Structure 1
Amino acid sequence: MSDDISRRLALAEQAAREAGAKALEYFNHRDQLVIETKRDAQDVVSIADREVELLINGQIARAFPDDGFLGEEFGLQAGSSGFTWVVDPIDGTSPFVNGMPNWCVSIAVIHQGEPVIGVIMAPCQQECFVSARGQGATLNGKPLHVDPSRTMQNHVTGFGANSYVTPERVGEIAAGITAVGGNFFRNGSGAMMLAWVAAGRLVGYYEPYMHAWDCLAGYCLVNEAGGWTHAFNTDGEALLRGAPVLAVAPGAKADLLKIARL
């Protein structure tokens, strides 16, 4: 692993852990938060999201001032180093503000268009998923590997949706999973469910429309754990737009690709 990546990996894990601790403090006092809506009534945000993103951004800016930074709350700051950090300070804000533990901090680093670092911290579970290109994936230091014997028929498939996806399409996805003999799961955090694919808790995850900050850390984790991911376009303005996301263990790839129509 190059020194450029190893130094950023160390900071990514440190920042994720510190951001997770800060977010957990807000979570434990969420009755004091002012909740705002963004695109629709299901798309919520609070000061916790913004303060956690500022914490991560500040650490990165001090250590790597020439790196780019894309955060869900404050947008893109271009860099000149060739590395761009892609951050969701609290993925699963709706579960967060409603007192459910299904939320996490997601930090990715991309280089030449590909995620080379992915760290996801789930504070309520005290689980830290860490990965880097060519270095494998771990959960609290234990190596992660997808199980090639797992299929949609003998395991559980995660899927997600939002207001960008029609109700009809949501129904089609659920029907498609059950039609092949599978079962489906959703917890409100796409980033966490991608980490769960890497950990073998889910055989795959599909969502028709996700943003880069939601998926790129999870993509690195799944790839390094031996899974397959559908390419996410990070070129230019495409990095700021949503796209289909699919991550899956080898034994479920063919079935889930048909359901996703990719």
Structure 2
Amino acid sequence: MSIDEGAIDRREAFLHALVREAAELARAGFARQTGQAVSMKGPQDYLTETDGQVEDHLRARISEAFPEDGFLGEESGGEPGRQAWVVDPIDGTANFARAIPHFCVAIAFIARGEVQLGAIVNPVLDEVYFARLGRGAHRNGKPIRVSATSDITATSFEMGWSNRRPLARYIGALNALFEAGSNVRRGACGALGLAYVADGRSDGYAELHMNSWDCLAGLLLVREAGGVTGPFLSLGGLTDGAAVLAAAPGVAAILSEATGIPLLTGPDLLAVAEEEHRRTA
């Protein structure tokens, strides 16, 4: 049976409280982290005690409130099913482990084949990004929009990195963007990178492979803030991960061409998005 709007209302109210609880746990863990041992799951893939603590809390709270929902977490896995919560307890763990305050907790709820709710919180800055499908995107309760940038020489993109794809593809994409006149940076926290696109702090984000817990909340934020994204879910990204692209409409085609990541919309729909963004910016 398809989930109704009332059921999503209840989950939205629950998520507002849940993301605050997660932020408190992550903030406390960050305060304890300096000088503590860090484990490695693989090359450049960090794991801290706080990752497990936050995910265990989220799983328990969701299971208690909505036992019918599936759960997929970075640390403990799970089966998403037809409707599920997708969780990254600490995105930007390498930053977290080195006492760099650029990390976040990311939570998404999917149903009807789409991301219905998304929340990303930076616990140190106390910034909560929140979106519901069809109802816009917000930071700490205030509406946000992607940037109105259309001049590539004024852009600042962010590009993530994954060892699941050849390094040469990253170098090629970076070279194309630099030659086009863009600035490119890497913050080592993909979920916040996407939130910053939604907030107009960055003009676009791309990564050749991301897992669903890293990006589903952020992709919803970008679309609800008037941006353009790639077709993550239709590429099998929920369970296997896929390429991610998110950008302001005026520069999305350039980022897509440089990275080779397709846009979710076709050229005609992209033009409509660009016009709508110019009209409302």
Report the TM-score when normalising by structure 2.
0.87
Matched, 1:244 2:246: no
What do residues 203-249 of structure 1 show as CA deviations (whole Å, max 9, x unaligned)?
110000100000000011001001011111268x7522121000011
Q: Which has the higher contact order (CA 8 A, sep 6+)?
A: 1
- Residue 47 in 1 paired to residue 49 in 2? yes
Mapped partners of 2:76, 2:152: distance in 1 = 38
1:1-262 pair list within 5 angstroms = 2-31=5-34, 33-40=36-43, 42-79=44-81, 82-233=82-233, 239-262=238-261
Any conservation in 1 of the 2:147–2:197 contact (CA below 8 Å)?
no
Query: Where in structure 1 are there 5+ consecutive unaligned residues?
Result: none
Moved more, 69-78 or 207-216: 69-78
CA–CA separation in structure 2 for the residues paired with 1:34 and 1:76: 27
Matched AA of 1:56:
L
The one-letter amino acid of 1:26's match is: G
Asked if the contact 1:91/1:189 (under 8 Å) is kept, the reply is: yes
Deviation at 1:166, TM superposition (A): 2.5
What residue identity is the alignment partner of 1:58? Answer: A
Distance in structure 1 (CA, Å) of the matches to 2:34 and 2:250: 44
Indicate how the Cα distance of structure 1 residues 22 and 229 shifts in structure 2: closer, same or farther if over 3 A, else same: same
Deviates more, 1:51-60 or 1:1-10: 1-10
Name the CA distance, whole Å, in 1 between partners of 2:23 and 2:32: 14
Q: Once structures 1 and 2 are overlaid, which stretch shifts more, 64-73 or 169-178?
A: 169-178
Runs of 4+ in 1 over 6 A off after TM superposition: none
Residues 12 and 106 of structure 1, relative CA distance in 2, 3 Å threshold: same
CA displacement at 1:113 relative to structure 2:
2.2
Q: CA deviation at 1:186?
A: 1.0
| Contact 2:96 2:103 survives alignment (8 Å) | yes
Q: Find the aligned partners of 2:39 and 2:131 in 1 and give their Cα distance.
A: 33
Looking at structure 1, the residues matched to 213 and 234 of structure 2 have their Cα atoms a distance apart, in angstroms, of: 11
Identity %: 39
- Aligned alpha-carbon RMSD (Å): 1.7
- C-alpha distance in 2, partners of 1:241/1:92? 20
Q: Structure 2: which amino acid aligns with 1:248? A: A
Q: Secondary structure at the match of 1:202?
A: coil
| Most deviating of 185-194 and 27-36 | 27-36
1:171 is matched by which residue type in structure 2? I
Q: Take 2:18 and 2:151, find their aligned partners in 1: how far apart are those partners?
A: 35
2:66 alignment partner AA: F
Secondary structure, in 3 states, of the residue corresponding to 1:77?
Answer: coil
Between stretches 114-123 and 162-171, larger displacement belongs to 162-171
Q: Using a 3 Å threshold, how does the CA distance of structure 1 residues 238 and 230 change in structure 2: closer, same or farther?
A: closer
- 1:181 Cα offset (Å): 0.9
Q: Distance in 1 between matches of 2:245 and 2:62?
A: 29
Q: Distance in 1 between matches of 2:237 and 2:98?
A: 32
Secondary structure, counterpart of 1:209 in structure 2: strand
SS of the equivalent of 1:153 reads helix
Q: Give the TM-score normalised by the residue count of structure 1.
A: 0.93
Tell me how many residue pairs correspond in the alignment: 258
Tell me which amino acid in the other structure corresponds to 1:25.
A
Measure, in 2, the Cα distance between the counterparts of 1:33 and 1:216: 30
Q: Distance in 2 between matches of 1:110 and 1:101?
A: 29
